[in-house]
Structure 1
Amino acid sequence: MSARARAHSTGRPPSKGSTGRQSPGRTRFIGILLILLSLISVVACCLTFALWLPNDRDHYDDYRAARACPAHPTARVRKNCLSTWHFAVVKTATENAGKTRRHEVTLKGEGSWRGVVDFEDTGPLFKRLKPGEQVTATVWRRDIVVLSRGGVRQDTSDAPRDALPIYAALGTLAGLVAVQACVYGVIRLARPRSYRLFAWFPYGGWMIAVILLSCLVAGITAMSTGIPWWIVPPAVPVMAGLVVWGLGLLLPLRRRRPTT
């Protein structure tokens, strides 16, 4: 039996990177879908940087600039100042919501008012609270943002936080996905029989994984260390490029390693 006959008799499927078995019509259709995905990602990127990020930044800056309300504030001043209220703790509870936990404190004020305040974790105040104790609540724009007792303070879930690096990472992710999907889609439309280097396996999937990992690392690192959000968009391509460069050096070395 010839070597060619033996190769065909092994029953092995064709390589995942092979493009010869896919019809040009189907390839062009997938290219159109990729271009549509690119357009959706462009819209998401624009909305993130033009709408969501600026709104969240202004909201957080307004909260940081807020001061205690004067004795007789006007309606406009009362909207943006920090007011202080005193409540009694009715009960505390921890509820499981899937993989996360909600820590709730039920408060009672003058008259029949009752409200529930959520915390993201148990410390430093939540774990110390007991029913009947008096607490001081800081209210901003009708939301209880801080609860305190005996000098111990804790932000509630409604307190504005500096999540701008995460928004920047998500917007950058959408932008890079848009570029990759557009390039892969255009190549499929222009060269439906020859797009091996722009196939999902192995290069496309690896690129998406590298981009996603770079965005997560850059966003979380910037948020935890206080790095400005505008550092994230240029940092992501640099990180992704370094990862690709490192993989380009390591993979050939592994292939050249002699087998025993």
Structure 2
Amino acid sequence: MSQPSLTGILRSTVATVLTLLAAVAFVAFAVALAVTNVPDGTRDLDAYRAAPRCPAAPPGPAECRWTREFTVSGVRLTSKRGELDTVTLTDADGGRQRTAYTDRGPVIGDLAKGDRVTGTVWRGRLTEVAARGESQDTDAAPDDLRARYLIAGLIMIPPGVLVAAACVWRLGRRTVPNPSRGMVATLGLAVGVFFAGLFSPVVASGAGEDLRVTAAVWLPIAALMAVGARVYTIRGRNLAG
């Protein structure tokens, strides 16, 4: 086996270091995102739940919750991925407001043009609609953002750590011309785990942004990928032997 040239080693080392720095920055960004946002992730949701009813119509955005009647002037239900169902509501003054929903829930799936609904307004946003004894949050309602940022961490941190580990491994063997099967398997696992992270929230979307459900989908997929990477590495060693 021919020995790699000094220039080849240098180029490979520079590329590996740059990839390592990018992976570390990727992980650091995900960690900072979670640390910064998770502690206050329910601040708006708690304020909304604790907000009292407005005694009268507020002159502008207010911390109290104000309810008023609306007439449904349009309903658009879609099955396209990435698009939300929408309902256009008209108030007594003729003002129109377009509301969006993450699911068809107990209310909007049965709405038709001309129906009457009761809307809840908080901080100037229409956060909830109610009809026939049922209520449903709009897309403007405050959420528990903790799960959202923790799911983002689940998507970003494991593959970033795997890429960083493969880079450190490669730097320790920089004089060897080609990466080992273990390094290739680690990088392949990083890519697979990243896409598993993207895929898991989609599968778990019926439960909303639920970290436990998303992790329950992600963990078996990641475990199977890890086993596959291990088998690939061991088989390479056996062939080499």
| TM-score, structure 1 as length reference | 0.66
d(CA) in 2 for partners of 1:132, 1:181: 56
User: Could you say if the C-alpha distance between residues 216 and 51 of structure 1 is closer, same or farther in structure 2, counting changes exceeding 3 Å?
Assistant: farther
Q: Which amino acid aligns with 1:170?
A: A
The alignment partner of 2:42 has SS state of: helix
Instruction: Indicate the residue corresponding to 1:115 in structure 2.
Output: 97
d(CA) in 2 for partners of 1:140, 1:174: 34
**Percent of aligned positions that are identical:** 21
Give how far 1:53 is off: 2.9
Give how far 1:137 is off: 0.3
Q: Which amino acid aligns with 1:133?
A: D
Give how far 1:227 is off: 7.1
Instruction: Indicate the residue corresponding to 2:149 in structure 1.
Output: 167
Structure 1 or 2, whichever has the larger Rg, is 1
The alignment partner of 2:14 has SS state of: helix
Tell me if the contact between 2:128 and 2:137 (Cα under 8 Å) persists in the aligned partners.
Answer: yes
Superposition map of 1:2-81 within 5 A: 23-63=8-48, 65-71=49-55, 79-81=62-64
Give how far 1:119 is off: 1.9
* Alignment coverage as a number of residue pairs: 230
Extract unaligned runs of 5+ from structure 2.
none
Superposition map of 1:201-216 within 5 A: 201-210=184-193, 213=196
User: Could you say if the C-alpha distance between residues 121 and 210 of structure 1 is closer, same or farther in structure 2, counting changes exceeding 3 Å?
Assistant: closer
Q: Which amino acid aligns with 2:115?
A: E
Instruction: Indicate the residue corresponding to 2:207 in structure 1.
Output: 224
Tell me if the contact between 1:86 and 1:136 (Cα under 8 Å) persists in the aligned partners.
Answer: yes
Give how far 1:210 is off: 3.8
Give how far 1:216 is off: 6.0
Q: Which amino acid aligns with 2:185?
A: P
Deviates more, 1:87-96 or 1:196-205: 196-205
d(CA) in 2 for partners of 1:222, 1:67: 28
d(CA) in 2 for partners of 1:199, 1:249: 10
Give how far 1:24 is off: 1.0
Instruction: Indicate the residue corresponding to 1:132 in structure 2.
Output: 114
Give how far 1:44 is off: 1.8
Instruction: Indicate the residue corresponding to 1:15 in structure 2.
Output: none
CA RMSD of aligned residues (A): 4.3
Extract unaligned runs of 5+ from structure 1.
1-18
Instruction: Indicate the residue corresponding to 1:9 in structure 2.
Output: none
User: Could you say if the C-alpha distance between residues 219 and 20 of structure 1 is closer, same or farther in structure 2, counting changes exceeding 3 Å?
Assistant: farther
Give how far 1:190 is off: 4.4
